[in-house]
Amino acid sequence: MGKNRVVIGCQWGDEGKGKIVDLLAAEADIIARFQGGANAGHTVVAGGSKYILHLIPSGIIQPGKLCYIGNGVVLDPAAFLEELAFLQAKGVDHRGRLFVSPAANLVLPYHKLVDVVEERARGTESLGTTMRGIGPAYVDKVARHGIRVADLFVPDRLKARLDYQRRLKAKYLEGSTDERADLDRIYRDLLEFAEIIRPMVVDVSYELMRAHRDGKAILYEGAQGSMLDIDLGTYPFATSSNTTTGGVLTGLGVGPRMIDEVIGVVKAYTTRVGAGPFPTELVDAAGERIRTLGDEYGATTGRPRRCGWLDLVALRHTVRINGVDAIAVTKLDVLDEFDEVKICVAYELGGARLEQVPLDLAALNQVKPVYRSLPGWKSDCTGITRFDGLPGLAREYLNFIAADLGVSICLVSTGAKREETIMVRN
Ligand code: GDP
Ligand code: IMO
Ligand code: MG
């Protein structure tokens, strides 16, 4: 039997999941997305080319791999078409190996309009969403008036559902001159889109089960980070899906025995885009330095990412809620030049020391990080491919993290390129 792995982000997103998925896709037959949508930005640097994937699984870059978009994903037709065109321009042939669930909900132009209006209405409490319409699309899904891929093939039903949206969202749409509010045009565009996507629509759950039975290996590609999980993250400063391991089961229709291993992707420091608590955030020169050295600007929105030291308290939480077996540590090279590297080992709140994330996550706004300072290794790690080739102090840093979390390190990334990697297990 092939080994089925989950790749999940253990922080607030942008941990380097795209690179890890691309690497591990080499050992898999199938790569599947189970949640989120085009709010994701997954970067793969391979063969002298850079690819940023938003909706299509990063495994598509590896020739011959089959890629699935599950029912838990919210699929934006416009973003999907753009990405197909991007892949084609890059010479990546996706024909016959990209499949979509008929039960996936669609993100439509009016969702993006609502996203913008709601963000504005939140005022100083705005979440800093990606404005990709993700929240409003999941709201429609849960409210049971979403429009799904399957509806594309029944024009009368599609029309009726859009008409219902016209009434439901009147306060956003009526009288608007914004083209995202033009439901007649959306209807026409969707009928065209239906013919493009029709050959890709399959029963994803059934296909994955069959592949599994035939001994194929499946890689489940998480998007966003565990701290952005709608249930277990820093609510309300979260995204609208279950970004954690549980989302794999409901987002693809697979059973728990179709997961053999959970790999948590951990960036060697922490970043966050958008608003919300971030205990180890550095708003000083050190944070700016991490941002510059790590090139920490959003792959989807281009926004500068907030940067800070590694947060073991948050990682203890995400290792637990995901059942992480092993971690892949990325961007170690970004810390090469620092005289000291800090790790947050606990929080302080009202004189008490917290080893775990507080139950009321809003309290994260008040906690103060307790740091353990380790000496920097002050040498260039870029491109190192063997664990014992790393400077001793860098190995100490990594071992400290793994020991605290009680997990093994399966991989260390020492640069953006595919080959700049230590496969620790080999
Ligand atoms: P994702 O959303 O988790 O897939 O991560 P992003 O692609 O949004 O952000 C990660 C960024 O770091 C991308 O620009 C990657 O090319 C880059 N990257 C990944 N691993 C490494 C690494 O080990 N070192 C460096 N310097 N860059 C890396
Ligand atoms: P990847 O897959 C980092 C953040 C947004 C915002 C919050 C809600 O590349 O790691 P949304 O548009 O989802 O309603 O925004 O979630 N966010 C991400 N941050 N990486 C991502 O994806 C993100 N996707 C959403 O910045 O704070
Ligand atoms: Mg990203």
**Residues designated as active site:** 14, 42
Residue 1 has what pLDDT? 58
Rounded to whole angstroms, the Cα distance separating 383 from 157 reads 54
pLDDT in tens, 82-102: 999 999 999 999 999 999 999
Q: Is the pLDDT of residue 426 over 80?
A: no
Query: Rounded to whole angstroms, what are the CA distances from 111 to 107, 238, 251, 327, 364?
Result: 6, 17, 21, 35, 30
Give the model confidence (pLDDT) of 127-153 as tens digits.
Answer: 999 999 999 999 999 999 999 999 999
Q: Distance from the CA of 298 to the center of ligand 3, in angstroms?
A: 7
Q: Which ligand is nearest to the CA of 223?
A: 2
Q: Quick: pLDDT tens for 45-63.
A: 999 999 999 999 999 999 9
Burial degree of 127 (CB within 10 A; 0-12, 13-18, 19+): middle
Could you tell me what percentage of the chain is helix, strand and coil, using 3-state DSSP and rounding each to the nearest 5? Answer: 40, 20, 40
Question: How confident is the model over 19-39, as pLDDT tens digits?
Answer: 999 999 999 999 999 999 999
pLDDT at 425: 78
Across 278-293, average pLDDT: 97
Q: Which atom of ligand 2 has the smallest separation from the CA of 303?
A: 26
**392: which 2 tokens?**
């001793």
Which residues' Cβ are closer than 6 Å to ligand 2?
9, 13-14, 39-42, 127-130, 132, 134-135, 223-225, 228, 239-240, 273-274, 299
Tokens 């998925």, located at residue: 21
Cα–ligand 2 centroid distance for 41 (angstroms):
9
Q: What is the pLDDT of residue 361?
A: 85
Say if CB 273 and CB 128 are below 8 A apart.
yes
The answer for 279, left when phi > 0, alpha when psi is -120 to 50, beta otherwise, is: alpha
Q: Nearest to residue 306, comparing CAs of 399, 227, 420, 417?
A: 227
Q: Could you give the residue ranges of the DSSP H alpha helices within 169-266?
A: 170-173, 183-197, 204-213, 246-252
pTM above 0.95, yes or no: yes
CA of 173 from ligand 3 middle (Å) equals 31
Q: What's the pLDDT at 362?
A: 84
Ligand 1, closest atom to CA 52? Answer: 7
Mean pLDDT of the chain: 97
Closest Cα to atom 6, ligand 1: which residue?
14
366-410 pLDDT, tens digit per residue, is 999 999 999 999 999 999 999 999 999 999 999 999 999 999 999
